[in-house]
Amino acid sequence: MDSNQRVITHEYLGKLVREMLHTLERGGVNSFTSLERRLGQSFNVTEGKIKLEYKFSELGTWTSTAYYMIPGRGRPVEIQMNQELEYSKVIVKAKKMLVGYHFCFDDSDGNKTQEKITKFRWDMVMEELKRLTNHKNA
């Protein structure tokens, strides 16, 4: 992404998701249990960090979260897994709406923050992230 360009194309999102998947794999994060064991850690990546955090969520519950953070640009991709409420979310930012995602809000750069809610299953979340790496299917 050009440093002046803040719009997130499907191609650029796919690149970030590929890097996130590779980083999680390299860091041994390959299941919900391994994500939980690594909460509080972060990994340096090309444009920022992949962070693993435990965050307050809905109805007084907590969610285990992994996200790609780009300084000054926010979180173009994030996964949340809430074991108590038995759901997972994939949250992304992109200029255009992605198939199967629900609109949340527009950011100040013209990107649409959007989410897809799935069952509480690591394999479903990883499958969705892999789908996003092929921008033609986004």
What mean pLDDT, rounded, does the chain reach? 93
pLDDT more than 90, % of the chain: 89
Q: How confident is the model at residue 37 (pLDDT cuts 50, 70, 90)?
A: very high
| pTM to 2 decimal places | 0.92
Q: What is the pLDDT, as a whole number, of residue 4?
A: 47
The stretch 99-123 carries a mean pLDDT of: 96
**DSSP letter string over the chain?**
--TT-----HHHHHHHHHHHHHHHHHTT--SHHHHHHTTT-EEEETTEEEEEEEEE-GGG-EEEEEEEEETTTEEEEEEEEETTTTEEEEEEEESSPPTT-EEEEE-TTSPEEEEEEEES-HHHHHHHHHHHTSGGG-
